[in-house]
Structure 1
Amino acid sequence: MMDEHRDMTCAVVGVTANRHLHDGIHRDWLQRRYIQALTKYASVECVILPTIDGDQPSDATIRTFREVMRRLDGLVLTGDESDLDPSIFCMNERVWARADDDVVPGETDRPRDRLSWMALTVARELQMPILGICRGLQEMNVYRNGTLYEDLSLSHKGITHSENANLPRDEQYLPVHSVKIAPGGLLSSVIESGELQVNSLHKQGIAELGGGIQAEAVADDGIVEALSYKNSSTFQLALQWHPEWHASSDDKSQKIFRAFGSACDAYLVQRSTT
């Protein structure tokens, strides 16, 4: 049954944190732009999901985590500067236990990898709305056994996918290349457009799509820039770009957040009647 004390007027979504290591101190952190865009345009409340150290076995951890996510109406997989470690997502050979090099600033964030694997596993079980952004898109692909290019600058010369570090931070999130939207897909139905100008701040990128995944947008150099989970009963979409950064001035980004928020609202209503 639904918690009778809960406010039924607003959906609540879990937003993934990242691990930050500075001066030997571990911190969970999240860029504020995600919360601002989700609150204003998706009209949801947000709770931050903490990263996972791996001190406990994955099966024990997921039992606890499942109870947390049963209280939520959606999942947001955020971006991060670290590279994804596919070994944590591998069903047959998962590397789960804590290691000394779990967190290498700007390179590795296995506590985040563990969190995202856990969150995607439970979200799949519960058929929960999902919005993946940048690293989140890569996680959604690898979770379905897709593969990644480790460094797009070594394999794709047509488009520069990484940001220009010499520019001010706000300018790094301005549109730099176009993507073609797949007709008849989820993203096309949301933004009602055949092409978008997007920002690009990523080193890794999709090499092969995982099973049950639909390409929703593709860059001119062939890199998949948006995807969805096929045959999902709800909104499960991921974008390689960052719609949250300039959402206040971009109506297409606002439409994406609103569509996700509507799916979370519908999920809340469904849960309240079961």
Structure 2
Amino acid sequence: MTAPVPGPGALVSYIRTGSREARIAYRELPEKERLAYHATVERVFETAIAHHCGLYPSREEVYDLIKRTGERHPQYAGGTRRVILALVDGASSGGMSVRQVLTAQHLVIREVAKLHPDFLEAAETIVEPGLEFTGTDRQHAVSVTLRLDGGLHALELHRGAERMGVKTLATCLVRAWVEAEKQRWIRAKELGRHDDFPEIGSGKGGGDAHRHEAYSTGGLCRATVDRYGRLRAFTFMRTALFDDGRLALAAKIREAVTKAQAGAAAEAKAELEASR
């Protein structure tokens, strides 16, 4: 059998086959590429946990996964437990080497793939680093990057944003989001995944006025998303925004948006369960 080529392709192979050769192929990568691979595994691991446990994992779901993975790989039971709890509870995974963390994360990813055929089927698109979509407003004040599922991946405020009024900056943020969403929607339709959203701006939402709001800690800003988690409005609650700098403000914006998306997802899940 041909050895898997180190990198994302090997991770896809491991998700689908559980091959040890695919799991350890990254060790042949040059240091710089190995660091990029570490980031990819971390992202896929977070996606796997969210896929299996949801946005608000119950203790039963978390510990069932810990038990299942530990029983399958008893020699790595402690490591898999620690990486799962580090992500879900913010517990410390200190004391583990980088290789131990990677091994544990791989094993958990594979276990989730065996439990969820849709995760297994979508391995390439989950791993593929190109499935992120960045939009920028016309004034290049804000950049928004979305994942294929529509979740916020990154948000940046660029130089010049400090000179904008609160309403103008909020408008730039929404416009950047719309540009990213247009790209995401097209690719989702091509792949047939996360493609149930109506095209933004098309008027095909059926007049759906459902919205979910969330505030950043301290109430500096408020994000409003629709039932699909797409940003529809953003409000700054005071005019002094940059006292702690652009990075701090961007973090507050991300926090509000992430909370709003999580709330919308929880509501959608509750509606689905109630309709069954």
TM-score (norm 1): 0.22
Q: Report which of the two has the higher share of strand.
A: 1
Question: Per chain length, whose mean CA-contact separation is higher, i.e. which structure has more relative contact order (CA < 8 Å, sep 6+)?
Answer: 1
Bigger Cα Rg: 2
